[in-house]
Structure 1
């Protein structure tokens, strides 16, 4: 029997629940999401919205986000309880995994200093969002581009919420295209922001969330009417989106990535290393780009694998494995048959994990689902053939300074975006880059206000300043006293 979940869309802060015109998306287990179909009037209202948000002080924006965090951190919050229930049913992740994501985003946003730290990291000074900041001979300020359109994917609920946060903190209008894989996380995050802060708040009015097929006039209209497009997805889908983005529109994409882990077995605590890797494998059942898919081991991994098995079982008790679809089961079954044919060591657990000690050159595909390929290597250099610009994160253990700096320099020069300690693969911390770039600058225009004409040198050398300006004006020479007197006032500022 079908279970229908009725979901609204959000149009400029207003909830529009399904009437006679809706879209249904079917999921495993008889779950059907029935969501309002956005009509021309809805889209016209979204693209007509042009309220200026740049004059909202940053402290009011962080307060808006903090209000959400303090309310949503409560596991008994009714919106959160509903979001966890429906999110698990739709995505297939366990309720524990979904609930963890809502706890994380609440914990993150309830402390305003986290937002300020992020802005400091990506802009150099958070004050650039509220006023002009001196930089060398200029003053600079960032302004929102206007309308940010997010094309989301559903494999990582937290990423959808974080993407929305980016355009809110940079004072943009936010428009979201929900992914069919997860129509809950971004919708309920936005719904909670509005209900907790009130629909009349100017930030609430700047929030819109819809579901529309990725091909069609509605999707094209939203892209062409936006000032920045942030797209998440696979290569083919990103290629088709990029072709629709006008030349003057800022475009930020987060494409398919994969991650690995490196373990150096020399005087280490095997339990500590195994617990950390087991957790990195467990989160999102490896469907996140940050989740390690291969483990390269310097040394004999036999004893370590015994410890890893133990901690994978313990992690499964805390964060149970989610629903596995038939395609994923078939993929894993084929992989196990291949491993047996090649006489590779296979370890399996009742909680749904798989460990395969394999020849790294013969592994061509990965089934995810808490599966780890283990490869014996002699040195870090042996990892290089498996790196390219789609390699996201390499986690290392142990994480001592000499090992990290040498390894990080070598691997990042071959395409790796991020180095972290094993156990932190899914938790980028303040100062991090995403896919080797800072993302927030894509959401703003960085404007420049030059200094006065008389402020022509920052080093106090009047002779050099006069020489430079004279050259710029065609070297008027000593006979052109009138020009020199007009150019070089006595009150030059340094």
Structure 2
């Protein structure tokens, strides 16, 4: 078996607080115990009616806080995280290793990514400009043809966060803050570290700042009635993860609420025989190693018209290189079993299989693949013509990596028409570019209300040569004269 099944962790139970609008809520005499796949445990508070009432009534809102102040505050938090001696960062790295079995390199990379994202002040302003039309639209009225428009927050956002990619918490929270929504971060049972660490780092800098007072990090069980109440009172729900998480958001939201769904999705790579194979296989190894293929953007399959054994030789060398550069995160017993079963199934079918401590490569017909395991398991699918790839694309496909990059010109229209959301050069799947979409959405648009002040009667309007007087139009049948 190629995956690393973790050894039991120390049985000591660590206490983790909730963060409620900038204040710590410690586990009481009857804490909820979270147990992680490697055996580590944490004691957390239980959600109570009193806590729900507090969560439904934020002490502040961000509507009157200038966007530049929100971005500047995030930048200052990011500089804290950029310091490897910052206590909150050091504890976070330690917790990723304890809870998830992350290697030191992977845990450091996650903390570095949080820091870089928070410090990207220019890009955060640009995100608003790209998705909402103007970087100042959250703060003032922007002229737009015959109207002035301004974006307003929807109100209180609830985030159902995933356990597979810690960085998703940072992304989800930043989108809420840029649109001035208050945030209740409902972390996954297997990943409390990021939401709590971010909320605590806000209090480290300024416990009274509006950003600090607009963020909470809590947990509730899937079948919790109090959790359903919080979802039902939310103005916008960001639902990450599997179908159950997304469906729960739709089931429990109010009729006025907006649900922003992220997942479940799958991703793959297409490699042409004329690609720079060294660069292509290195990129695929990266896309299959980050988060051990647990992310929606992770590459699991490679379709190629190149000679498959030669391609697999190169890919194996790069996966071996990544085993040293980014040591593997411990996998759960279920993940290890799923990967082992798929390897055995493909061997039984007579497919060509290579496996080792670096992962697995299975050269197989895509029609014979029943599961897409994690643990750096990559399927190589030989095809006579790259146009055949289209039959394996549907709306569950998120990201398609390409090598050489010129392939996007011949493939993107048909693959997009069939459901693909995103095209990147092989090796860039985990890196989301400014201006791109997320699962086919522009999330900031869904997290705001666009309000318009339209021009008065005496403004003729674009393309018109008469005042807009509706009564006169009706009385004298002048609707035909609107455009002259």
- Answer whether contact 2:141 2:148 (CA < 8 A) is retained: yes
Q: Deviation at 1:98?
A: 2.5
Give 3-state SS (helix, strand or coil) of 2:361's partner: strand
Is the counterpart of residue 176 in structure 1 residue 185 in structure 2? Answer: yes
Give 3-state SS (helix, strand or coil) of 1:474's partner: helix
Is the counterpart of residue 330 in structure 1 residue 334 in structure 2? Answer: no
Which residue of 67, 83, 93 corresponds with 1:74?
Answer: 83
Is the counterpart of residue 454 in structure 1 residue 458 in structure 2? Answer: yes
Counterpart position of 1:345 = 352
Which residue of 14, 27, 52 corresponds with 2:23?
Answer: 14
When Rg is computed on C-alpha atoms for both structures, the one with the higher figure is 1
Give 3-state SS (helix, strand or coil) of 1:48's partner: coil
Give 3-state SS (helix, strand or coil) of 2:252's partner: coil
> What are structure 2's unaligned runs of at least 5 residues?
1-9
Counterpart position of 1:367 = 373
Q: Deviation at 1:193?
A: 2.4
> What are structure 1's unaligned runs of at least 5 residues?
479-487, 489-494
- Answer whether contact 2:132 2:445 (CA < 8 A) is retained: yes
Counterpart position of 1:289 = 296
Which residue of 114, 120, 143 corresponds with 2:123?
Answer: 114
Is the counterpart of residue 434 in structure 1 residue 442 in structure 2? Answer: no
After TM superposition, the structure 1 stretch with the greater mean CA deviation from structure 2, 380-389 or 139-148, is: 380-389
- Answer whether contact 1:98 1:157 (CA < 8 A) is retained: no
- Answer whether contact 2:21 2:59 (CA < 8 A) is retained: no
Counterpart position of 2:4 = none
Using structure 2 for the length normalisation, give the TM-score: 0.93
Give 3-state SS (helix, strand or coil) of 1:394's partner: strand
Counterpart position of 2:6 = none
Q: Deviation at 1:117?
A: 1.1
- Answer whether contact 2:237 2:249 (CA < 8 A) is retained: no
Is the counterpart of residue 261 in structure 1 residue 269 in structure 2? Answer: yes
- Structure 1 pair 54–358 and aligned structure 2 pair: CA distance change class (3 A): same
The 2-side partners of 1:159 and 1:407 are apart by 29
- Structure 1 pair 258–218 and aligned structure 2 pair: CA distance change class (3 A): same
Is the counterpart of residue 321 in structure 1 residue 328 in structure 2? Answer: yes
Is the counterpart of residue 385 in structure 1 residue 391 in structure 2? Answer: yes
- Answer whether contact 2:165 2:291 (CA < 8 A) is retained: yes
Q: Deviations over 1:85-133 (max 9, x none)?
A: 1122212333322321221121122131010111111111111101000
After TM superposition, the structure 1 stretch with the greater mean CA deviation from structure 2, 175-184 or 17-26, is: 17-26
Q: Deviations over 1:207-229 (max 9, x none)?
A: 11111112222101211221111
The 2-side partners of 1:340 and 1:249 are apart by 49
- Answer whether contact 1:11 1:208 (CA < 8 A) is retained: yes
Is the counterpart of residue 230 in structure 1 residue 238 in structure 2? Answer: yes
Which residue of 248, 259, 276 corresponds with 1:251?
Answer: 259
The 2-side partners of 1:470 and 1:249 are apart by 34
Is the counterpart of residue 412 in structure 1 residue 416 in structure 2? Answer: yes
What does residue range 49-60 of structure 1 map to in structure 2 within 5 Å?
49=58, 51-60=60-69
The 2-side partners of 1:430 and 1:477 are apart by 49
Is the counterpart of residue 203 in structure 1 residue 207 in structure 2? Answer: no
Q: Deviation at 1:477?
A: 7.3
- Answer whether contact 2:22 2:214 (CA < 8 A) is retained: yes
Q: Deviation at 1:425?
A: 0.6
Output the aligned Cα RMSD: 1.8
| Count of residues in Structure 1 that have an aligned counterpart in Structure 2 | 470
Q: Deviation at 1:19?
A: 2.5
- Answer whether contact 2:46 2:220 (CA < 8 A) is retained: yes
The 2-side partners of 1:235 and 1:380 are apart by 30
Q: Deviations over 1:119-168 (max 9, x none)?
A: 11111111110100011100000011110000111100111111111111
Give 3-state SS (helix, strand or coil) of 2:211's partner: helix
The 2-side partners of 1:362 and 1:436 are apart by 29
What does residue range 35-54 of structure 1 map to in structure 2 within 5 Å?
35-49=44-58, 51-54=60-63
State the structure with bigger RCO (CA 8 A, min sep 6), 1 or 2: 2
The 1-side partners of 2:310 and 2:224 are apart by 55
- Answer whether contact 2:268 2:302 (CA < 8 A) is retained: yes
The 2-side partners of 1:434 and 1:156 are apart by 15
Counterpart position of 2:476 = 476
Counterpart position of 1:278 = 285
